[in-house]
Amino acid sequence: MHTFEPSNSEPTAPQDSSTPWYKELSRYHWFVLVVAALGWLFDCLDQQLFILARPAAMKDLVQATEGMSLKDLELARSNAGNYATSIFIAGWATGGLIFGMLGDRIGRAKTMLITILMYSLFTGLSALSKSWIDFSAYRFLTGLGVGGEFAVGVALVAEVMPNRARPYTLSLLQALSAFGNISAAFINLGLGIAEEEGLVSSPWRYMFMIGALPALLALFIRRRLKEPEQWVKVKAEQKAGDAQMGSYAELFRNPRWRKHAILGLLLGCSGVIGLWSVGFFAPDLIRSVQKKAVTAGVFDEQFATATAAKDDQKLGFLDEIKTAQADPKTAKPMSEGATELKAKLDRTVNGRLSRWQSYTSIAINVGAFFGMFGFGALSQRIGRKPTFVIALLSAFVSTVSVFWFLEHFWQIWVMVPVMGFCQLSLFAGYAIYFPELFPTRLRTTGTSFCYNVGRFVAALGPIVKGMLEAAFVNTPEPLRYAGVTMCLVFLIGLCVLPFLPETKGQPLPE
C-alpha cells in the first residue's frame, strides 16, 4: 500500500511573498491538514450533538416527582442540563491536561488516535443513559477525548506546515470544524422531523449513536500519519538528556513559558466561557422563545382539523388538554384518549422546536466558517493581537444583541450568523496563536493548558448562568437576562492582550 513520505521529501514551491500560500504545500502537507481537520470536525460534531440533544435528553431523563409544578419541573431539567454541561466541560479540561502532556511525550499522531477512539466510544454509550447522572458520567469521559484532540491536532499542523502557510492552514483547520457543527444540526433536523411524524421516539439517543462513527477515522490515522520531524528531532535530543518533554514543571519553571501559559489561559477563558456559557445556548433560547407559539399553533391546527371533520370526541379531548394546561395543579386527570392525543401533540411540538434549534445552529456555524478563516487572513495582515481586539469586541456586541432581541424566524438568518462569525473567529485565533507561544517540547502541553484549563473555570459558567436564570425567574425570558450578563466575559481577553507577544511573521519558538 502506498504511504506518504515526510513533508520535506516532496518539493514545494519557493516560499516567497509573491507565491500563494497554498502553492507551498506538498501532498503530505494536504494529507496532514485533512486528517487533523477531520479529527477536529468530528470532535465538534460530538460537541454540537450534545448541545442540540441536551433539552430533549433532560426531558426524558428528568421526570416529575409527586407534587412538582410544571415550572419546577422545567427548572429541574434546566439545572440538570447545566450540570451535565459543566461536567462535560470539566472532562474536556481534564483530558486537555492529560493528553496535552502525552502529545509531547509519545507523539502527536499516537495521541490523536487515542483521543478520537475515546470520544467516539463514550459518545455512543451516552445513548444508553438511564438518568441525567450516568448521562453526565458518559459526557465527562467523552470530554476527556474531546479535550485532548484539539492541542495535538493544531500542534501537528503547526509543526508540519511551512511558516508562511501556517496561519492559513490553522484557520482553515478551525473553519472546517463548522461543517461538523452543521452536520449535527442537519442530523437533529432530520430526527426532529422523524419525531414529528411519529417515526422515532427519543431521537436524541440516535444522535449519540451516530456520534460514535468517527472511530473509523482512527484506522486511517494509524496506517498513514507520521510524527512531525521537528518533534522526532526534539524527542531524540530528550533521550540524550538535552530536553524535557511534556512537563508542566518545565512549563512553569521557565519565566517566559510561565507568563505565556497564564496569560494565554486568561485569553482562552474569554472565548471558551463566552461560547459554552452563552453562545451555545442560543438554540435553547430560540426553543424557549418559540415554545408557547409553536404549542398554540399545533393545538389550533388540531382544533381546526377536528372542527372541519366534526369530530366531537377529538374536540372533547382537546378541551381536556386545554383545561389541564391552564392549571395543572387543580385540573382533573385526563382521560386515556386525551392523554394519548397530548403525547402525539407533544411529539409534534418537540419536532418543530428541534427545527428551530437546528436552524439556529446552522446559522451560527455558517457565520463561524467565514469568521474562523477570516481571522487567519486578517491576523496575517495586521497581526495576531489587533485581530483579537476586533474579535473580542465584536463577539461582545453581537452576542448581547442576539440574546436581547432574538425572537423571530428572520432574525435567525441575520443576527445569529453575525454572532457565529464573531464568537467562533476567536477559536481560529487560539489555534494559530497558542502553538506560537511555546517550544516543540512543550507545544501541546502549553496549548492544552491555555485552551483547556480555562474550561475548569468555564465549567462553572453554565451553573452561574443557571443561578442568573433563577435570579431573573420572574422576567418573561430569564435566559435573555442571564445571557446578556454573561457576555461581560468577552472583555477579560482585552485586559491581558497588552502583556502577550506579537508573533506575526515569526518562526515557532525553540
Nearest residue to 368 (alpha-carbon basis) of 313, 315, 423: 423
Q: Are 368 and 424 in contact (CB under 8 A)?
A: yes
Indicate whether 268 belongs to any domain. Answer: yes
Residue 371's pLDDT is what? 94
Query: What is the pLDDT confidence band of residue 357, given thresholds at 50, 70 and 90?
Result: confident
412/362 Cα distance (integer angstroms): 9
Decide: pTM greater than 0.85: no
24 vs 395: which has the higher pLDDT: 395
pLDDT(409) > 90:
no
pLDDT(14) > 60:
no
pLDDT(77) > 70:
yes
Indicate whether 507 belongs to any domain. Answer: no
Residue 418's pLDDT is what? 96
pLDDT(8) > 50:
no
- DSSP secondary structure code for residue 156 in this structure: H
- 91-112: per-residue pLDDT in tens? 988 988 888 888 888 888 888 8
- 335-351: per-residue pLDDT in tens? 888 888 888 888 888 88
Question: Cell 502553538, residue?
Answer: 435
- 470-508: per-residue pLDDT in tens? 788 777 788 888 888 889 999 999 999 999 999 998 888
CATH number, residue 208: 1.20.1250.20
Residue 338's pLDDT is what? 85
Q: What 3-state class would DSSP assign to 241?
A: coil
Indicate whether 193 belongs to any domain. Answer: yes
Counting other chains too, the contacts that 211-214 makes at CB distance below 8 Å and 24 or more residues apart are 211/45, 211/46, 211/49, 211/120, 211/123, 211/124, 211/126, 212/120, 212/121, 212/123, 212/124, 213/120, 214/38, 214/39, 214/42, 214/43, 214/45, 214/46, 214/116, 214/119, 214/120
- 271-326: per-residue pLDDT in tens? 988 887 788 788 888 888 888 888 888 888 888 988 998 888 888 888 888 887 77
Residue 17's pLDDT is what? 59
- Average pLDDT, rounded, for the chain: 85
- 125-143: per-residue pLDDT in tens? 999 999 999 999 999 999 8
Could you list the residue range(s) of the whole structural domain that residue 458 is in?
A: 21-499
467/412 Cα distance (integer angstroms): 27
Average pLDDT rounded to a whole number, residues 81-92: 88
Question: Cell 409544578, residue?
Answer: 69
Indicate whether 197 belongs to any domain. Answer: yes
Residue 131's pLDDT is what? 92
Query: What is the pLDDT confidence band of residue 11, given thresholds at 50, 70 and 90?
Result: very low
Domains held by the chain: number: 1
Q: Are 455 and 95 in contact (CB under 8 A)?
A: no
Indicate whether 9 belongs to any domain. Answer: no
Indicate whether 264 belongs to any domain. Answer: yes
Indicate whether 151 belongs to any domain. Answer: yes
Counting other chains too, the contacts that 6-14 makes at CB distance below 8 Å and 24 or more residues apart are 6/226, 6/229, 7/32, 7/160, 7/228, 7/229, 8/229, 12/162
Q: Distance between terminal CA atoms of the chain? A: 36
pLDDT(150) > 50:
yes
- The set of residues, in sequence order, having a beta carbon less than 8 Å from that of 478 and lying 6+ positions away, is 468, 469, 470, 471, 472
Return the C-alpha cell found at 64: 416529575
Residue 18's pLDDT is what? 67
Residue 16's pLDDT is what? 53
- Using alpha carbons only, give the angle 311, 317, 323 rounded to the nearest 5 degrees: 135
Residue 206's pLDDT is what? 92
pLDDT(243) > 60:
no
Return the C-alpha cell found at 383: 497581526
Q: Are 51 and 442 in contact (CB under 8 A)?
A: no
Nearest residue to 135 (alpha-carbon basis) of 117, 122, 145: 122
Q: Are 449 and 93 in contact (CB under 8 A)?
A: no
Query: What is the pLDDT confidence band of residue 13, given thresholds at 50, 70 and 90?
Result: very low
Return the C-alpha cell found at 291: 415554545
Average pLDDT rounded to a whole number, residues 46-52: 85
445 vs 220: which has the higher pLDDT: 445
Indicate whether 505 belongs to any domain. Answer: no
pLDDT(239) > 90:
no
